[in-house]
Amino acid sequence: MRALDALARRTLVARPLRTILTIVGIALGVGVLVAALVLNAGLDAAAERSVRDQLGRTDLRVAAFEERGLSRASLAALATTPGVAVVAPELERRTYPVPDPLAGSGLPVPVTVIGVDPAADAALHDRPLASGSPLPAGGGDVILVSDALARADGLAVGATITLNGSVESGPRAFRVSGILAAVPGDPDPAGRSIVVPLQVAQTLFSTDAVSRADLGLTPGSGVAAVTAALESRLSAEPYTLTTPGELIADLRASTADFRAMIALVAAVSLFGGAFLIFNTLAMTVAERARDVGLLRAAGMTRRQVTLLVLISAGHLGIAGVALGLATGVGLAAAVTAYVSPGGGVLALRELVIPPAGLLLGALLGFGVTIAAALEPALRAGRISPVAALTARLEQTAVLRARLRWLTVVFAVVGVAGIALWPGAADGSAGLLRPLAVYGLLLGVALVGPFLVGPLGVLVGAIARPFLPAEERLTRSALVRDRSRTALTVGALAMALAVLVALGGVAATTRQAATAWLTEVVPGDALLTSVRPVALDEPQLADLAAVPGVARLSPIGRFAVAVGGQRLDAAAVVGADLLSDGRLVLTAGDRAAALPALDAGGAVILPAAVADRLGLPLGGLLQVLAGPEIVALRVVGIAARTIPGSSGEAVLVGWPDATQRLGALGADVFAVRYVPGQAAAAAAALEPLARANALEPASLQAVAGTIGASVDRLFALLTALAVVALIVAGLGIVNTLTMNVLERVRELGILRAAGLTRRQARRLVMLEAAVLGAVGAIIGVGAGIVAGAILAALGAGPGVTYDPGLGSIALALVGGVALAVVASVWPASLASRIEIVRAVQYE
Amino acid sequence: MPPILEARDVTKRYRLGAGDVEAVRGVSLAVEPGEFVAFMGPSGSGKSTLLHLLGGLDRPTSGDVVLDGALVSRLSDDAATKLRREKTGFVFQFFNLVPLLSVWENVALPFTIAGEDARRAEHAAAIRAVLASVDLAGKERNRPDQLSAGEQQRVALARALVRRPALLLADEPTGNLDFATGTEILDRLWRSCHEGGQTVVLVTHDAKAAAYADRVYVLRDGSLRDEIRLGRREDHGAAPLIARLADLGL
């Protein structure tokens, strides 16, 4: 065994560049896998920590469904429910600080105000202070401000800040009694939160309701029993009940798509690394066939020969995995650093390195390495001394064996990928996406050998007029070892397929996220409010009277309860949508449906919701509104409506929204300008809007902001997918080098017959360009289909798949460019062949 | 008429370990157009090295090689390659065919490398003619692994002849062949010279092969030892040459 190990090491050391390339390839493949595992752990930890920060020691959270909030009656019912020890109510509202007159004319950045009962709050939540003192039990006009707000607005303990309240209460001044320590999970998107006594907040916002109540249960009380007790007692208005575990699960589910993409990229990278191992060992076996024959003739058994190759693979695997673990942690650290300032759906806060994840990554990486080495090792064991001396290419047998190997390795890698894929553990529905995508990629790899020939001829035909000699010789080079060429092309095609799929999903996601702006919003611009604006507030008339403003259409987003589920809803003016030509219905008559909303008793459903609830046109949507059920007739089904916090919103008219469903007002106004007067009207409207705490933005600006956040996420995934492409590039270097080394004598003869060094170099580079082009064509085709599968299964109906032409063009050009760059060294090798030595080469 | 091939005090030195080895030392010779010349000598005498230098496959360490009036030893690699492409044809001991090309495509390689379409009428005719001249008509579609050793060497010979180069250089072309097959190859080389007017330079250690030549240069330890004139003969009997070699102690 020691002798075999020594021989294996010498074989690896004899080809240092090839060995290093292979180790780097494995490291990159394992690196992306480990990065995926580390990021998953980080996301899990971030979700848990976020919920802990939000809920503290809360056992159950009762949240209001409607904008009106939970009433006193509901709070009283909570307090008297058996098993409930502590009720900590909170009122959460967003508002603007009163702007500094010396500052510019823009609106100040809004803040989130949280009103709490200090005594009850302290029982369930920790609000550590960086300085100052906590809220007094008796209330008063004192507040705690977050660390981010204090630093941004220059607030210290004792400073005064004036907040805008409701129209009725007006602005109110507060003294800062304490500054909260900087902890993650601030309820305000920008970390600008203020904690005030509950009664103060209720007075400021002219309400006696609360947004939610956190409950601490008596020791020994079960959540299920308390939940059952609450169901009979809470009847004043609809509510949701959430446990910390359910919140954590929701947060984890919100990152499912990101994790799925990472898993896909990791699987493809790992496969690329496996191919490098295979290629390297296949090269070594081919080069050493005569040596192996001699060893066999001298008495080495088949088993010992197989073991020799596997030991080589083991060394490569150990080195590659070790480097891969470090690479993976580094990649994860880079992703965390990139993502954490932005927050959003990826609430990564810190790097979490799970020992179990590292072990899993190491074992999977090593396992794939050995699986990749099996075929070359077994083939080496089958070399007979006679065959070694008269080695012939047996194309068909080699191709069959390699396709078998390909299926085995892909199965191993596929298992790894599915294990990483979120939702796969949830059963058949969760498995469908990864199986479909992996099945497609495996199909690409298996079909590749049969496409390389014809596609290669087609692509080579383009080069023929310019490089006739090189093109003819390239064709023979590509079919020299069809299976190796096919695997090289396959690895490249898969990496490019992932890139194209990501591009398509990104484009589709961007389209889905912004399409509502052009298809539903009846205006040229939006005015956004942090609080619901009642439709009879006087400033609206002033805004609508600005010259050049044709119309101000209110849109109010809120939530409704249907059959125990939370649904997003939006109040719109049907007449405005009708006159603007907006909102496409897939069922129902627009001319009748939109006025029906304004008349009341009607609803328009987005197609996804209609499908989910099984409601046809003419059906009844039964909405729980307080103690009553409000039945709304479905007068239309739309391809797309306005997005809510968890899906597309059902559309109702304002009469139903305010009088029956608890909506308080509009949070967005769509502004339609008179044609030709938009610029002047906007210039007059915008300062007036800001003065009334309404933030103006053009539809393009809103689309740009949404698009930018989508692009940021996908840029990250694309960067990781580029790693898979690099691994494929290393595979091309390996293959082309092998092709050159196998053709040393042939190249020598060609040089003797008059092939110049430049022609020899161009020969190899053209070979690479053809490989790259074939890989790009196959990869782009597979990528478009994979992207369509991912988009269709993820986005649901009503979304048109956009293949992302930019990604396709980049993949086509990039595939060829990568291959040509990868060919630089092998081409140089070919051009430097010494003719005399080459023609005597055996 | 000036010589078609000249070596002027050519030396080739290789670095081997700590020291240098002179494979060819101070060789000067000239080959006239249409001559058949052979280089003979024991193994390691430098005859193959000399052939490679004369054919422009390698550069001398010192001295010059003139090929059809061009100072090939001083040309750039590209220029030397192009000159070699136009003026020479090579036949080696190990056939050296491109395994995945057919017989036709292997023979067409000189046209392909030059960027010319081998399917052009004149090129196709030349390929057919040269294949017929080596008795391989009908085997155009075969691949090298479907041919015998002799047939493979005939394909290599056809490839060297297809452009009717002025100079044909053959390095132990019969080294891997049996006597009968080797004789066929040598006969064809001789006909190229005698009937086609091509100049042939043959490297061999076999006196029977060298006996085809008009002149034989004998090398030993990298230097020219002797020049034996045999003259143009239809009968390639080796007895006179063997006797002369015996006199030289070879």
pLDDT, tens digit (0-9, with 9 covering 90-100), for A585-625: 999 999 999 999 999 999 999 988 998 889 999 999 999 87
Whether pLDDT at A103 is above 50:
yes
pLDDT of A380? 83
Distance CA A220, CA A243 (A): 16
Q: Residue A16 above 80 pLDDT?
A: yes
Bridge partners for B170 per DSSP:
B91, B202
Distance from CA of A716 to the nearest CA of B (A): 45
How far apart are the C-alpha atoms of A454 and A467, rounded to whole Å?
19
Comparing CA positions, the residue from A456, A467, A417 lying closest to residue A440 is A417
| CA A51, chain centre distance (Å) | 21
Of the candidates A749, A759, A836, which has its C-beta nearest B52's C-beta?
A: A836
- Chain A positions in Cβ-Cβ contact with residue B77 (cut-off 8 Å): 756-757
The answer, yes or no, to whether residue A104 has pLDDT greater than 90, is no
Dihedral of alpha carbons B65, B71, B76, B80, sign: negative
How many other C-beta atoms are found inside a 10 Å radius of the C-beta of residue A190? 15
Query: Do A469 and B85 make contact, defined as CB atoms within 8 angstroms?
Result: no
Those residues with Cβ within 8 angstroms of residue A291's Cβ, 6 or more apart along the chain or in another chain: none
**Interval A705-745: pLDDT, tens:** 888 878 877 887 888 788 888 888 888 888 888 888 878 88
Top-confidence residue, A510 or A824: A824
* Length, in residues, of chain B: 250
Q: Which of A673, A661, A674, A665 is nearest to A693 (CA)?
A: A665
- Checking if the pLDDT of A698 tops 80, the result is yes
Strand partners, A742: none
CA A438 to each of CA A448, A786, B134: distance values in angstroms, whole numbers, following the listed order:
15, 9, 56
H helix or E strand, kind and range, residue A634:
strand A628-638
Give strand pairing partners of B89: B168
> CB distance from B96 to chain A under 8 Å?
yes
Query: Is residue A390 pLDDT above 60, yes or no?
Result: no
Contact predicate A508/A571, CB 8 Å: no
For residue range A311-343, list pLDDT tens digits in order.
Answer: 988 999 999 999 999 999 998 888 888 766 555
Cβ within 8 Å, pair A757-B145: no
Q: Which residues pair with A555 in a beta bridge?
A: A668
Nearest CA to B41 among B210, B212, B158, B238?
B210
pLDDT less than 50: residues of chain B: none
- CA pair distance A728, A815, nearest whole angstrom: 10
Average pLDDT over chain A, rounded to an integer: 84
Tokens of A250: 């929701």
Q: Which of B90, B98, B116 sits opposite A746 (nearest CB)?
A: B98
Q: Does A754 touch chain B (CB under 8 A)?
A: yes
Residue B100 is nearest to which of A479, A757, A840, comparing CB atoms? A479
Partner-chain contact B110 A473, CB within 8 Å: no
User: Which residues in A538-580 belong to E strands, given as ranges?
Assistant: 549-562, 565-572
Q: How far apart are CA A444 and CA A18, in angstroms?
A: 27
| Nearest chain B CA: its distance from A757 CA (Å) | 7
Nearest CB partner across the interface for B100, out of A468, A480, A759: A480
Supply the pLDDT for residue A426: 52
Alpha-carbon radius of gyration of chain A: 33
Three-state secondary structure call for residue A624: strand
DSSP string for residues in chain B? ---SEEEEEEEEEEEETTEEEEEEEEEEEEE-TT-EEEEE-STTSSHHHHHHHHTTSS--SEEEEEETTEEGGGS-HHHHHHHHHHHEEEE-TT----TTS-HHHHHHHHHHHTT--TTSHHHHHHHHHHHHHTT-TT-TT--GGGS-HHHHHHHHHHHHHTT--SEEEEESTTTTS-HHHHHHHHHHHHHHHHTT--EEEEE-S-HHHHTTSSEEEEEETTEEEEEEE----SS---HHHHHHHHHTT-
pLDDT range class, residue A746, cuts 50, 70, 90: confident
Cβ pair A758:B78 closer than 8 A: yes
Report the alpha-carbon distance of residue A6 to residue A14 in Å, rounded: 12
Spatial contact of B185 and B104, defined as CB atoms under 8 Å apart: no
Residues in chain A: 842
End-to-end Cα distance, chain B = 34
Least confident of A477-486, A664-673, B160-169, B198-207: A477-486
CB contact under 8 Å between B113 and A750, yes or no, is yes
> Is residue B199 a contact partner of residue B30, using CB atoms and an 8 Å limit?
no
Tens digits of per-residue pLDDT, A133-177?
Answer: 988 877 778 999 999 899 988 899 999 999 988 878 888 999 999
Chosen from A739, A745, A763 to mutate, greatest number of chain B CBs within 10 A = A745
| Nearest partner of A274 among A372, A416, A172, judged by Cα | A372
> Could you tell me the sign of the dihedral formed by the alpha carbons of A184, A342, A115, A70, in that order?
negative
Contact B117 A759 (CB under 8 A): no
Any long-range contacts for A836-840 (C-beta under 8 Å, 24+ apart)?
A: A836/A748, A836/B49, A836/B52, A836/B57, A836/B58, A837/A748, A838/A744, A838/A745, A838/A747, A838/A748, A838/A749, A838/A751, A839/A745, A839/A748, A839/A749, A839/A752, A839/B92, A839/B94, A839/B96, A840/B94
pLDDT on residue A419: 66
Alpha carbon of B239: minimum distance to chain A alpha carbons (Å): 31
Task: For residue A472, list chain B residues with Cβ-Cβ distance below 8 A.
Answer: 105, 112
Check CB contact under 8 Å for B85 and A759: no
Provide the pLDDT for residue A544: 92
Instruction: Report angle CA B241, B245, B246 to the nearest 5 degrees.
Output: 115
Interface check B109 vs A, CB under 8 A: yes
What does the pLDDT read at residue A391?
47
Which burial class, exposed, middle or buried, applies to A16 when counting CB atoms under 10 A from its CB (0-12, 13-18, 19+)? exposed
Percent of chain A scoring above 70 in pLDDT: 91
CB A650 within 8 A of CB A520: no
Q: Side by side, which strands form the sheet with B19-31?
A: B19-31, B5-16, B62-67, B70-71
Determine the Cα–Cα distance for residues B204 and A264; give it in Å rounded to an integer: 63
pLDDT tens-digit profile of A764-812?
Answer: 999 899 889 988 999 999 999 988 887 776 655 556 778 888 889 989 9
Average pLDDT estimate for A250-257:
78
Is A754 within 8 Å of B94 when comparing Cβ atoms? Answer: no
Is the dihedral angle over the CA atoms B221, B226, B227, B228 positive or is it negative? negative
φ/ψ of residue A695, rounded to 5 = -95, 120
Say whether residue B92 is in contact with chain A using an 8 A CB cutoff: yes
pTM of the predicted model as reported, rounded to 2 decimal places:
0.77
Q: Bridge partners of A163?
A: A97, A172
Cβ-contact A665, A535 below 8 angstroms: yes
Confirm if A807 and A503 have CB atoms less than 8 A apart: yes
At A392, the pLDDT band (50, 70, 90 cuts) reads: very low
- Whether B110 and chain A come into contact, CB under 8 Å, resolves to yes
- The answer for residues whose C-beta is within 8 angstroms of residue A268's C-beta and 6 or more apart is A441, A494, A495, A497, A498, A721, A724
Taking the CA atoms of residue A348, residue A354, residue A356 and residue A357 in that order, the dihedral angle to the nearest 10 degrees is 50
pLDDT score of A19 more than 90: no
Distance in Å, alpha carbon of B159 to nearest chain A alpha carbon: 9
Whether B92 and A473 lie within 8 Å, measured CB to CB: no
Judge whether residue A393 has pLDDT over 50.
Answer: no
Q: With an 8 Å Cβ cutoff, is B227 touching chain A?
A: no
DSSP bridge pairs for A562: A565, A623
- Quick check: B159 contacting A, CB < 8 Å? yes
What chain B residue is nearest to A394 in terms of C-alpha separation?
B145
Phi-psi region of A150 (alpha: psi -120 to 50; beta: other; left: phi over 0): alpha
> Which tens digits make up the pLDDT trace of A522-566?
999 999 988 888 898 888 999 999 999 999 999 999 888 887 778
